[in-house]
Amino acid sequence: MNRIGGRSNSGEGGEEPHRYEPDENGDLRRSAIKQIASGRFGVTAEYLVNADDLQIKVAQGAKPGEGGQLPGHKVDERIAKVRCSTPGVSLISPPPHHDIYSIEDLAQLIYDLTVVNDRARVSVKLVSEVGVGTIAAGVAKARAGAVVIAGFEGGTGASPISSLKHAGLPWEMGLAETQQVLVQNRLRERIRVQVDGGLRTSRDVIIAAMLGAEEYGIATASLIATGCVMLRKCHLNTCSVGIATQDPALRAKFIGTPEDVVNYFMFVAEGVRAWMAKLGVRRIDDLIGRVEFLKPKKTTHWKAKKIDLAPVITAPIAPADIPRRFLKSQPWPVDDHIDQDLLRRAESALAGGRPIELALPIDNTRRAVGTMLSGAIARAHGGKGLPDGTIKVRFTGSAGQSFGAFLSAGVSLELCGDSNDYIGKGLSGGRIAVYPPATSRFVPEENVIIGNVALYGATGGSLYACGLAGERFAVRNSGARAVVEGVGDHGCEYMTGGVVVVLGQVGRNFAAGMSGGTAYVFDQQQTFRSKCNLEMVELESLVDESDLWLVYGMIEDHVRFTGSPLGRRLLDNWELMVAKFVKVMPTDYKRVLQARRAAARRPTGRLTVVDGGR
């Protein structure tokens, strides 16, 4: 796709970093569109800066409103590395984005992505459903650069049969509604409209253009061009043509080449040109929204003839001078972002010079602090970031949403105050410490200091919070370490990696969907079992020496970075308190670790000569 000026989509599974570098012949393997889905698999600062389009996938055309699951037997070493997880452990994508429960939340995520990579467009993928036009209007108001309407035939390979048969609508219906609502609300000119989910031919592209789309996604037909025979068993790991499988023997059967895809799209383009010539149109832009070129096809079929297509091919009710297509985007302005100042002050450190330490005030109008700085680090130094402690910034005040989002390695943010929601979202190796001012008169472990949905999709780094956290702490954490003094409901939800130490009470439904990583909870009141979701985890005592050292060391770090009075009391009375810690261990994760240890102990079968053979 890069060869022909198109764009491929990474999907929600992340992307291998070696694809970001051009091949010897100049080809670039990276996907221009990087997807940010509910699972946030592999969504790091490096992943985000290597994109031309950052696509927030709210739902999938073939299974709207549903999540997804990658079975453990398909998670091999390669996939686990990309998704920052453990081979053999199942991966669950939640049905919703846990940082999107309103259009305002969506606007915040769009802002976060714009800050980390202001060179990329941010798009939002919706599905063809009744009312999608209203949501698309919200997407436009949230300053997205594009909205994607997916039909029910999109992404069918890995969808349940029940969803394929009974969920979703044709892309034509959702696209028509979106175009009409955007035009009627004078929003069409500020956002591009893309459509996918069942497009196959040049005729489909022409109809999509007339219904209002400027961009067109074609995936299944591209796979067929490379050898897919639509066996409809992508989820079984037994694809006989080597496409949807991790089995090396089956992958060796793949015969597709880049030229197959190039040829297919060239034929589609030629077909589009032929249709445009028939219609007397010179440019594709002149076709956008021209529904007057469409008319229902006459049929005698007893069921089809009863369908009224008038709502689909009716022009929007709006003045003639209202634009019917995209004219100019309105992205979030980032010129006054606090990181602009940080980048200027840290210029020498970014270039490999001496470490720096800064002290700045902050208020809750400052959002996604440290995110633009992290994007610059990832662009210059890749995923490894900078050496630990290269850039240290101490803020005083109340931080806004997404404090430290996608924070790169080498950056340490210290917050004397409190923070709103989404702190440490997508943490990518940096360190965040939050603690109350020395003059505060409240007890830290009894008061909330950070908001909801902390560490969502974090892949590395650490967070220390001297106080309580809100709901869904460490949701989908896949690599970060954290110490907190209490959490709300749904803590460690869908977690697949990393370590979390909770030094206080937890809310209900702790560890729901947790398939990897480890959590340690200080259960002083012996109530934790009733609040933990035991469907995928089991509870253990801290008897292993490695667990004892790990928890003790993390609490030591917590005291060092935050001055936590609770942490200091636990360390001072460690021999008495350690028995009250509970280890939360996912059963799937435990099985994989035990198998690894057994394999490491297994003799190789070789004879070894020792001491001269005596």
Contacts of 255 (CB under 8 A, 6+ apart): 226, 227, 241, 242
Residue 157 clears pLDDT 90, i.e. is over it: no
In our burial notation (b when 16+ CB lie closer than 10 A, e otherwise), range 238-261 reads ebebbbbbeeeebeeeeebeeeeb
Q: Is the dihedral of CA 230, 235, 241, 242 positive or negative?
A: positive
- Beta carbons of 272 and 206 less than 8 angstroms apart: yes
Contacts of 567 (CB under 8 A, 6+ apart): 466, 483, 485, 503, 555, 556, 558, 559
pLDDT digit string (tens) for 53-80?
Answer: 999 999 888 777 777 788 888 888 989 9
pLDDT digit string (tens) for 242-261?
Answer: 998 888 899 999 999 999 99
pTM as predicted: 0.94
pLDDT digit string (tens) for 309-360?
Answer: 999 999 998 898 999 999 999 999 999 999 999 999 999 999 988 999 999 9
pLDDT digit string (tens) for 193-242?
Answer: 999 988 999 999 999 999 999 999 999 899 999 999 988 788 788 899 99
Domains and CATH numbers, the chain: 59-96+120-313 (3.20.20.70), 442-595 (2.160.20.60)
